[in-house]
Structure 1
Amino acid sequence: MALDAAIGIGEEATYGTAPTSTIGYEGKADSWKVAKEFIESVGFRRGMQTARADRRNIVQMGGEGELEVDLLDVGAAALLSAAFDKHTFTDSGSTRTHVFETAASSAAPSFTAQMIRPTVDGTGVAYKHVGCVATEWELTAETENAVTLNVSFDFQDVSHTSTPAQVLPIDYPAAGRPYDWTRTAVTLTRAGTPVPLDAGKLSLTGDLGMKTDRRFLRANALKKKPVRAAVPTYEGELEGEFSADSLKLYEAFVAGEVIGFRVDLTGLTAGTSMKIECPAIQFTGESPEASTDDVTVHTLPFRVLDPGDGNPAIRLTYVEPKPVTALKAMSAPDQG
């Protein structure tokens, strides 16, 4: 049953070569799908009914998948490192501080994503997707919900096995609590002065500009590692109540001003926190909207810009305890 499903990612030392273990994530959906292409030859032939069985070749085209999770205050570093261009960390006492940044070029590693799917008769089948490179990501926070992170991947190849000894072990964080809306705070700064906004919804997205179809005439159907081919685009949206204070944000939009944006999250696990800093954002619309059955709502879509002073467009600081994991290898479920 679905409770026996599992997913984990492991950093690859070489693109397309699986590591020896994975870090477990509590994914909320299974979207990992392989792509195949058929090369078909059809020409004039007497008595042909349709395409011949011996004129079709199948080609492995890789595929795509997403890892959608509620963001935990422990154990999210690997997934974040896939989404950002640069990752560094330092240890101090019992905590580890990760810093993830956007940059002019991507140094993000590739990963192997192992999706374990249970059959109805109790057998676990592990699908190993190698050469996984992040192409897009989205972080969302909304009242009455957990904070979620969704990272989209392109992968090079996939294989599967139902032999437990061939399945990569999964390391889960020993303990972790989800970030949620009650401990999420948004700060906007206009000309150095904070501007209050009673926001009930936040989203932040990244399109990493990756070229994923790097196939060549090299007697090998597998593609090479994706590379950046376009300028990344980072966007977001805030939604809240329209007030005398938030009117200043509408005025900033009309004037085309560049303002500062920050999100602070406090973890329930001792010593944990997360901070997102964007020193230069610019609102792209829109006007507040009045309603007959609610307060006036202020929706503020924005674009994240390069501040031009050497600082990253986005810096995410993630503080967690020094990793301690509980190793869980796949075993066949009971045959009930």
Structure 2
Amino acid sequence: MALDAAIGIGEEATYGTPAESTIGYEGKADSWKVAKEFIESVGFRRGMQTARADRRNIIQMGGEGELEVDLLDVGAAALLSAAFDKHTFTDTATARVHTFETATVSGAPSWTAQMIRPTVEGQDVAYRHVGCVATEWELTAETENAVTLNVSFDFQDVSHSTAPAEALPIDYPAQARPYDWSRTALTLTRGGSAVALDASKFSMTGDLGMKTDRRFLRGTALKKKPVRAAVPTYEGELEGEFTGESLKLYEAFVAGEVVSLRVDLTGLTPGTSFRVEAPAIQFTGESPEASTDDVTAHTLPFRVLDPGTGEAAITAVYTEPKPADPAPPKATGTPDKG
């Protein structure tokens, strides 16, 4: 097990220009893989056994990676801002309230993602992926598990170094607790009235519709920043027991009705919370399923829709403790002795 492995992301001021530091995330898998393309030239030539070694050009094509984490109640704002189109925040005396929204145009920044991989001899190799732009995300809550957030990225380029001084600093929250299923609650509203659902699993996904292959004849293989080229798709699924109340949700499905969904998470760190709201969802199936060895189950896949009122299709509000004010600069020069 690579105990010293680490993953962090840092916001870039300019696409493809490395950040100066990263915010550490406790990733659960290492999926950051570089892509290469070989341009091969083969033609008639006497004595040729196969393609010649000097007829193959290797091209840097960027790559893809995923940050898969248990959602913590402190320090997750950067990853959420990568996944959503719009991010704003306000400060109170003790808390910072982040608001993330879907929008017509993606205003999400690009990121530098540093993956530190230790060799079996104990040497750290820092892989620096620049121009990272989120393309997909998934939020999942399931009984007897932590709440998880997965964000998939496209990146422009990657380099690596074994020099400790070249590794970007990693900043972790001083204290954070994972959100878990026991502190997660769902609220569904149909026709202005709440409908109870004994759900055991919730998931929501986003395909951000990004065009990632923006390569041009400009003297370099490096791509330009991905842009939105397709209508984003947001979907999800609820799983639970079939009850008299959940029958109302089946009836909403067969009638094609639009209902609203809210997911509330309460953090263990004092003053923390996370809320996801989708004012317009439409169930896409399916019928309840009886069983010979369990209660009748109800699976409700859904599609998130634009409510058409000007409000966001999805709004997420993440509340964490207000960051400490930076220390004032130290005095310099000769003190005035009066």
The TM-score normalised by the length of structure 1 is 0.96
2:234 and 2:182 mapped to 1: Cα distance?
25
Q: 1:71 to 1:324 in 2, by over 3 A?
A: farther
2:77 and 2:324 mapped to 1: Cα distance?
13
Q: Deviation of residue 313 (structure 1)?
A: 0.1
Paired residues of 1:282 and 1:303 also in contact (CA < 8 A): yes
Partner of 2:55: 55
Partner of 1:28: 28
1:323 and 1:241 mapped to 2: Cα distance?
42
Cα deviation per residue 1:277-308 (whole Å; 9 max; x = unaligned)? 00000000000000000000000000000000
Cα deviation per residue 1:122-180 (whole Å; 9 max; x = unaligned)? 10000000000000000000000000000000000000001011110000001000000
The DSSP-based 3-state class of the residue aligned with 2:126 is strand
2:324 and 2:65 mapped to 1: Cα distance?
28
Q: Does 1:138 align with 2:172?
A: no
Partner of 2:79: 79
Partner of 2:102: 102
* Amino acid corresponding to residue 90 of structure 1 in structure 2: T
Q: Deviation of residue 241 (structure 1)?
A: 0.1
Paired residues of 1:37 and 1:59 also in contact (CA < 8 A): yes
* Amino acid corresponding to residue 113 of structure 1 in structure 2: A
Partner of 1:224: 224
2:184 and 2:214 mapped to 1: Cα distance?
40
Partner of 1:193: 193
The DSSP-based 3-state class of the residue aligned with 1:65 is strand
Q: 1:271 to 1:278 in 2, by over 3 A?
A: same
The DSSP-based 3-state class of the residue aligned with 1:82 is helix
* Amino acid corresponding to residue 257 of structure 1 in structure 2: E
Cα deviation per residue 1:168-193 (whole Å; 9 max; x = unaligned)? 00000010000000000000000010
Q: Deviation of residue 250 (structure 1)?
A: 0.2
Partner of 1:212: 212
Paired residues of 1:73 and 1:320 also in contact (CA < 8 A): yes
Partner of 2:180: 180
Cα deviation per residue 1:231-274 (whole Å; 9 max; x = unaligned)? 00000000000000000000000000000100000000000000
Paired residues of 1:9 and 1:112 also in contact (CA < 8 A): yes
The DSSP-based 3-state class of the residue aligned with 1:247 is helix
The DSSP-based 3-state class of the residue aligned with 1:57 is strand
Paired residues of 1:112 and 1:131 also in contact (CA < 8 A): yes
1:94 and 1:120 mapped to 2: Cα distance?
44
1:307 and 1:199 mapped to 2: Cα distance?
24
Partner of 2:119: 119
Cα deviation per residue 1:84-120 (whole Å; 9 max; x = unaligned)? 0000000001100000000000000000000000000
Paired residues of 1:173 and 1:323 also in contact (CA < 8 A): no
Q: Does 1:89 align with 2:89?
A: yes
* Amino acid corresponding to residue 129 of structure 1 in structure 2: H
Partner of 1:332: none
1:260 and 1:202 mapped to 2: Cα distance?
14
Q: Deviation of residue 121 (structure 1)?
A: 0.5
Partner of 2:246: 246
Cα deviation per residue 1:56-97 (whole Å; 9 max; x = unaligned)? 000000000000000000000000000000000000011000
* Amino acid corresponding to residue 321 of structure 2 in structure 1: P
The DSSP-based 3-state class of the residue aligned with 2:303 is strand
Paired residues of 1:188 and 1:260 also in contact (CA < 8 A): yes
1:324 and 1:162 mapped to 2: Cα distance?
33
Q: Deviation of residue 322 (structure 1)?
A: 1.5
Paired residues of 1:75 and 1:323 also in contact (CA < 8 A): no
* Amino acid corresponding to residue 183 of structure 2 in structure 1: R
Q: Deviation of residue 323 (structure 1)?
A: 2.9
2:258 and 2:114 mapped to 1: Cα distance?
42
Partner of 1:39: 39
1:114 and 1:101 mapped to 2: Cα distance?
26
Task: Number of aligned residue pairs: give it.
Answer: 325
Q: Deviation of residue 324 (structure 1)?
A: 5.2
* Amino acid corresponding to residue 94 of structure 1 in structure 2: T
* Amino acid corresponding to residue 14 of structure 2 in structure 1: T
- Over the aligned positions, Cα root-mean-square deviation in angstroms equals 0.8
The DSSP-based 3-state class of the residue aligned with 1:3 is coil
Paired residues of 1:140 and 1:149 also in contact (CA < 8 A): yes
The DSSP-based 3-state class of the residue aligned with 1:173 is coil
Q: Deviation of residue 19 (structure 1)?
A: 1.1
* Amino acid corresponding to residue 265 of structure 1 in structure 2: L
Partner of 1:295: 295
1:28 and 1:285 mapped to 2: Cα distance?
32
Q: Does 1:321 align with 2:330?
A: no
Partner of 1:166: 166
* Amino acid corresponding to residue 123 of structure 1 in structure 2: Q
- Could you list the runs of 5+ residues in structure 1 that have no partner in the other structure? 326-336
Partner of 1:263: 263
2:100 and 2:25 mapped to 1: Cα distance?
19
